[in-house]
Structure formats: C-alpha cells, structure tokens
Structure 1
Amino acid sequence: MIKKYIFITGGVVSSLGKGITTASLASLLEARNLNVTVMKLDPYINIDPGTMSPTEHGEVFVTEDGAETDMDLGHYERFIRTKMSRNNNVTTGSIYSEVISKERRGDFLGATVQVIPHITNAIKNHIIKCGKNFLITLVEIGGTVGDIESLPFLEAIRQMAVDIGRQHVLYIHLTLVPYLLTSKELKTKPTQHSVKELLSIGIQPDILICRSHYVMNTYDQAKISLFCNVPEKAVISLNDVNSIYEIPKILNNQGLDDYICKYFNLSVPLANLNEWEKVISSLNNLKGTINIGIVGKYVVLPDAYKSIVEALKHGSLKNNIKVNIVFIDSQDLEKNGIDLLQKIDGILVPGGFGYRGVCGKLIAIKYAREKRIPFFGICLGMQLAIIEYFQNVLRIKHAHSTEFFPNCIYPIIALIDEWQNFPKKKIIKKQDCNLGGTMRLGNQKCYLTRNSLSYKIYHKDFIFERHRHRYEVNSHLLRKNNLLQLIIAGYSVENQLIEIIELKNHPWFIGCQFHPEFSSTPRDGHPLFSSFIKAAYKYQISSKIL
C-alpha cells in the first residue's frame, strides 16, 4: 500500500498545543490498528536543541538511540507505542548542514545550490526516510504559517502532494479562535486570515482544528467552513481541557479519525480507546494530595522539566493519589533557607548544567536526608546527593565536581578521562571545543544490585535507561571509602560506572545517573516514579500521625 502522510501546520499564534494535538491524533490512528509514526520539522538553525538553554526552548528530549531532540517527541512517545529516533526530528540547521556538506564534496556536480530544489529535496528525503516502515507518517511543522524560517518546510510538504499524489497527502491546520470578553463571542477572522496565508503558499487545508477556550457552536463551525473552503465535518473544535490525555477522546467524539480513514480509503476497525478511558477515569478519581517539590534552576519555565512533570503525574495515576507539584528555585533556598521545604512530602532534584543554584540543591538534599523525606535525584541530582553525603557525612569537605571546580582536591564527580588514571595522574579539565552531541546519550544497560530498593522496584537484574550527561561518579574515589549507609544499587557493564545510589537507613532515597522520565507514559508509568509517589504519600501519613 502507498504510504500516507498527514502534515500538521499552525497559524495565528504559537503555543497552541500543536505537538500534543498531533500526538493525540496519532494515538487515535494507532487505536485503529494503524502503523503510525510522528515527525517534527523545526525551523530554527541550531543543528539540534542539545546546546539550547531550557529557558529558551524547554527541555531536551533524548531518544533511545541517543538523539537530542525537540520536547514534542516526548509528547509523541507518551501518546503512542512507537519509539522515536533521530529520524523523527529535523531542523533547518541540520538540513542546511547536510546540503552544504554535499556541496563541499562535489555531490551536486557544480550545480548552483538553491533552496528549491536542493533544500526542499533534502527535507522530503528525511520525511520519506522517517516513514519508511510505517503506513502513516504524521509530520508536525514547527512555528506558524507566515514565519520566514518555516517557508522551506511548507514548500517541501506542498511538493509532497505533487510527488506522490494528492490522495495520499492530508493537510491539517491548527488555528486559534479567540474569545472576546467584551463582545462575549468567538472570533473566526484570525482563522480565516491564517488559512488565506496558507493558500498563498499553495496549500489548501483538508481539516481545521480550532483551538479555543470554549467549545465552538455549529454557527461558528459553519462560518469557518464556508470562508475556508473546508467541509463542516472537517472543522474540529478543540477547547481547553483539564488534562491533555482527554484530547484523543475529544477528537474521536467529533469523528476526526473516521474522516481521515475515509479520506485515505482505509478499511480498519473503530478506535479502541479503553486504555485512554482508564487513564481519564483514574485522573478523575484521585484521592488525597501530596506535595512534591522540584528543586531546580529553570523553574521560571516549567517546560524545562516537562517530562518529569508528566512522569510524576503518571506515578500519581498508578497510586490513585493527586500530586501537587511545587516548583522551588534552588537559588531561593540559598537566600531564604529551608522554609520553602516545610510542607513538601517528597523532594526531587532534576538534571541540569552549571554552578548556578547548586548550593540550594545541596541544601534540599541535606534536608531530605536528615528529615527522612523521600528524595529522588536525577542525573545532576544524583551527583549532588553523593557530594552532599561526602561533605556532611563522611566529612570530606573538599569533595566536589570538576564541572564546578576544575581543580578541586577531591573530584568525586568528574569527566571520565579525569579519573580513569586517578590517583597516578590528575588531569586538569579541558574545555570542549564542540559541545553538541558530546555527552553520554541514549539507552545504556544498567545492572541492579540484589537486595537493593531499586531491584525491588524494577524486579529485574538489569534495565535499559536513557542518559544525557558528561560527568560521571569517580568510581576510584567512591570505592576507596567506607561509605557507611551509601550503597551502589546500579552499575554499568564491567562495573565501570555508577548508575544508581541509595541510602540504606532512609525510607526512600534514590539517585540515578540516567533520566527515567523519558520512558514514562500515562498508560504504563515508570516504576521509580510510581514508587517515589507511594513513598511520599507514606511520609505524609506518618508525619500527620507524629
């Protein structure tokens, strides 16, 4: 069967939830036993988001094969079973870099290299490559129609309909239908202008998904249908909801998946949404509330910790407990002390880079250790937990990380080439000349220590989890000491690298070098997050009794 392509564009304004809408639609088609994947085309000139600040672009999502990608790929994996890879995210920077490299090698045989056809051909080749093993490929185009940066992508998807046949390509346009409080009505004109802009590029949308605060009435849908040349049943109203996991059902209730299957002439079963209905039912029947504090430096933009936030919610579903997430700026802890932690039932210190806010994170970790509050340290959070333990329990005051103090006397955390020869030679940290893609990335095997809490949580001898970091625990120094209550609960192949640590005398104190949040989904959750939520609830109950 000829491959099918669904292209999703956005108009009027950004941040309408195009990625979540795309993921929700993909989940609907998957629920009809269709083999689907999702791709993101990003208009920025960075090769990938790996070197971008989280406050600029949100979190960097890491795939199993080690690609640093747009955070929307996290949405895709949370909604469908298909795992994303480096093929599922392409940027303007990566396309231009590829084409320029070919030009330098002489691959174009002296031709003048232009946006059309060379750039657009490269984009189309990546789309086809991504969808090679799938019947339907959904492609989300970043930005909005009218952005200069998005024009090559829009031209490429226009050409796709010519190349493979219009009947195998479907265009969906997501727009804003704002509500004016003064006149108490929804306004359709922005959507009309957005569609007009798309038409000027040569793309007639087949379906319009209209984002609004309220459900659109039939009059507004008919008006949009008339002025935008789209059938009324292809004008979908998508209003604000309490949970993003309600969206597949909302789209299904309006017949979006039926319309698409008929368009492509696909004879497939009706969507089986039992799993999503269970998720929604669980969301609506959560009992009790616990407070989980995320202590970080990027809390001004919660999207910097998007996967962690969602993984905590997934853990709440598994325990039937509502989670109230409290973002705590680690620098505020440095200024104001531990008062911000007084009503917290569980403390999570996520990954990060740079020294800013580190002291505040160490304060939170010490507080969790001494007050026996459930603690979860991820990546840098684990490294800082080890530093705090060495400084305050083992009394090795100079223990620290060479990321922050390149010449520290006791480098318990360091680049691997700084401690492989330790103590024979102390290698001074050298600045990387190229930061992009130079970390330990993607799925890595981790062996679990029998009788550890982590082993009991996973019920496995070994696991695979995704990494994104440069610095490692200095195994030579760690094993030189009597660690007292600190135990190594997970380690890499040949026992080279420390992957998980725990405290034996603590109800729940776990640090992991990897990022478990990247593999958590609402239907399955992740065992570490589920166990952490359960421990936080127990702590809340016990603290009330005391």
Structure 2
Amino acid sequence: TQHSVKELRSIGIQPDVLVCRSELALPDEQRRKIALFTNVPESAVFSARDMDDLYAIPIELRSQGLDQVVATQFGMDLPPADLSEWQQVVEAGRNCEGQVTVAMVGKYMDLRDSYISLNEALGHAGRRSGVNVRVRHIESEQVEDEGVDCLAGVHAVLVPGGFGERGIEGMVSAVTHAREKEIPYLGICLGMQVAVIEFSRNVAGLAGANSTEFDPDTPHPVVALVTEWLDESGQVERRSEDSDLGGTMRLGEQACHLAKGSLARNEYGAQTVYERHRHRYEFNNRYLEELKKSGLGFAGRSIDGLVEVVELPSHPWFLASQFHPEFTSTPRDGHRLFDGFIAAAVSYRQRGDLPAKAASAAGA
C-alpha cells in the first residue's frame, strides 16, 4: 500500500481514500500505520477483505462508512444510502438451496471471460429462483468428438454466440439432444441460428440445411446474409451503409415485437421489448412458412420483419433469440428470459428426481 501511494505521489497524485485488499479485516493498528505513512486520514482507510459473496462487498464497505467519506470529500450533504434492495440480493444468494447444472456449449470455453455476461446472468437468475447454478463449460468440438454423453446429468443447455464454422456440428448435436430429451434450451445469437439449422435438418427434412456463413453452397440457406435472400414477396432484400441496420451488421438496441401466446411473450410479460444485437447473419424468411408448418414457432420479429425469436411450442421450454439478453441482466433485476430458463431447469431436475424418489420409497 505504501509503495503504491509513493508511486502515485511521484506523478503528483495524493489519494484521499484507500481501499485495501486483504484476506482478513485490517486490524486497527495496521490501519493507523497505513494512514500515518500515506498521509491519508485513518477514517479514510478501508478494508476490502475476502468475502464469500462478491455482492456483499458494497454492504461491507458501507458498514465501514465509505459512502459518507466519499460524500464529504465532494462536499455533499447526503442521507445514508438505502441498500435494502441490494441487501435482498445478498440474502437471496445466501438462501439458495439445491443446484441445477447448465451445459454451456460454445466455441471459446478456454477463455471464460468470453462469456462473463452469460455466466453472471445465469447467476442472477439462480438467486432469483433460489437455487445455485453450476455452469458446465463444454467445448462444442468435444461434443463432436465424444458425442452427447458429455452432456449427461445437465438440467439445461445453452448455446451462446460466436462466429465461424469450427465446432458448429457439436452445437447442432447439443440442440438435437435438448430437443429430443425435452431438456430446457436457450440459444443466443449463434445459438438461435444452430437451433434453426438443427430443426430444418432433423424435423423439417431439409437435408443439408445450413448457414451460408458455414457452407456457402448449402442447398437450403436457412440462415444467410440479408442481402443473400428473398423476402416474402420474392424481392431481394437490400441493406446498405445508410440502412437502419448498420449495413449488413445489426448493432445495438432494437425493438422486437413478440407474438401473443408465445413463450417469449409470457416470459417477458410485454408485447414489445428492446434488446441489444451484434450479428451479421439472419434467419432466411424464405423458409418461414415451411418451418412454421413443421412446428417451429416464430415468436419475435423486428420492425423490418426479421426473425428475432424462435421456439418449440411442443417442448417444455425451448427458446432462442437473435439478440443478447445477457447484456441487460443485473443482480437486482435479473432478466426475465434467464429467470424462465433457470425455473425450467429446476422443473426438469424435479421431474428427474421423481422416479428416483419413487424407487427409494418402494425399496423402503
């Protein structure tokens, strides 16, 4: 701490507050010593000790008076911060019972921070559902090599976003497994596209269906660049650098209209939602009616008529979105799609527990 402050002073910065990381709470004697040798008031030296729950850290620092010191430093006369809602988040984490396991099948699992927002969103939903969420990160190429046995014991399957051909068939196999075994499935961005590919091949009978990103010569381009497919009137869709979709890439928050009676609308509790996008390939509307007749539900559309959400009405919980709902999940409010997904995982786990409990009772 003293060395860090010395380095700051060498470039003309004198800290007003010190928050010291430590395994245990700083003893008063050590706090006084730090204050003495750094020219920081003892009342402005705070201890950020190791906590079982990261979300408890603001509560801990507030209990030491950090908020009042900061307010005083800025000459602001403020009442004590009301952290009652945040305290509820912490208590919810402490009161979680049981566990569900979510298989996240993706392309960049060796870089866990690639999916940090997804990991956090699943954790938020777990707190709100009162259950611990264990995320099993599975490389999609592992599914290609080992088959779906590596998905044994999971209560839900999630396929996140990504780019490129590598590992796609492993994701498709994971979707097949979730669909056939009635395991809750959530697809995000690429996860929606592979869900469409899987359904097209294995349910609608469109052999060789694919995205033009992975197979430019596919006989059934169910996913393609908007500029590569015809709209419902037979006209080639046009997108340019001046269009409202940012050229051929859709970026940022956009409106999505949800179909009445759909799972997505029931989960959101709203007709129109706003979610963030980052993708270039879209569902090909040329196949919309054909896949609808085969049982695929189209639950969300953009203002331009592009497909945003697909689902399987015949499945207990199967939903995939072209947008990224994880970006708007928060510890306090969570996100309705993740809440529904984890609740479905809990229900799936409970259904699996019933035969075991019945057998145990019979044996007794």
**Same topology, TM > 0.5:** yes
Q: Is the CA contact (8 Å cut-off) linking 2:101 and 2:155 kept in structure 1?
A: yes
AA paired with 1:520?
A: S
Quote the offset at 1:340 in angstroms.
1.6
Does 1:313 find its partner at 2:131?
no
Match of 2:3 in 1: 193
Counterpart CA distance in 1 for 2:251 and 2:168 is: 23
AA paired with 1:355?
A: E
AA paired with 2:62?
A: N
AA paired with 1:409?
A: P
1:98-150 deviation digits (Å, cap 9, x = unpaired):
xxxxxxxxxxxxxxxxxxxxxxxxxxxxxxxxxxxxxxxxxxxxxxxxxxxxx
Match of 1:540 in 2: 349
Change in 2 beyond 3 A, CA 1:461/1:425: closer
Match of 2:337 in 1: 528
Counterpart CA distance in 2 for 1:230 and 1:488 is: 60
Quote the offset at 1:453 in angstroms.
1.1
Quote the offset at 1:489 in angstroms.
0.6
1:56-114 deviation digits (Å, cap 9, x = unpaired):
xxxxxxxxxxxxxxxxxxxxxxxxxxxxxxxxxxxxxxxxxxxxxxxxxxxxxxxxxxx
Residue correspondence of structure 1 range 55-134 to structure 2 within 5 A: none
Equivalent pairs: percent with the same residue? 47
Q: CA RMSD in A?
A: 2.0
Change in 2 beyond 3 A, CA 1:437/1:521: farther
Does 1:447 find its partner at 2:257?
yes
Quote the offset at 1:438 in angstroms.
6.7
Change in 2 beyond 3 A, CA 1:490/1:426: closer
Match of 1:502 in 2: 311
Change in 2 beyond 3 A, CA 1:422/1:489: closer
**5+ unaligned residues in a row in structure 2: which ranges?**
238-245, 356-364
SS at match of 2:257: strand
AA paired with 1:545?
A: L
AA paired with 2:98?
A: G
- Give the TM-score taking structure 1 as reference length: 0.61
Match of 2:34 in 1: 224
**Higher deviation after alignment, 238-247 or 532-541:** 238-247
Match of 1:208 in 2: 18
**Off by >4 Å, runs of 4+ in structure 1:** 421-427
**5+ unaligned residues in a row in structure 1: which ranges?**
1-190, 428-435
1:358-387 deviation digits (Å, cap 9, x = unpaired):
121111111000000000001100110000
Quote the offset at 1:544 in angstroms.
1.8
Does 1:419 find its partner at 2:229?
yes
Counterpart CA distance in 2 for 1:307 and 1:235 is: 32
Counterpart CA distance in 1 for 2:98 and 2:204 is: 38
Residue correspondence of structure 1 range 139-178 to structure 2 within 5 A: none
Quote the offset at 1:482 in angstroms.
5.0
AA paired with 2:99?
A: T
Quote the offset at 1:216 in angstroms.
2.0
Quote the offset at 1:477 in angstroms.
2.2
Match of 2:165 in 1: 355
Change in 2 beyond 3 A, CA 1:468/1:252: same
Quote the offset at 1:258 in angstroms.
0.7
- Give the TM-score taking structure 2 as reference length: 0.90
Quote the offset at 1:535 in angstroms.
0.6
User: How many residue pairs end up in the alignment?
Assistant: 347
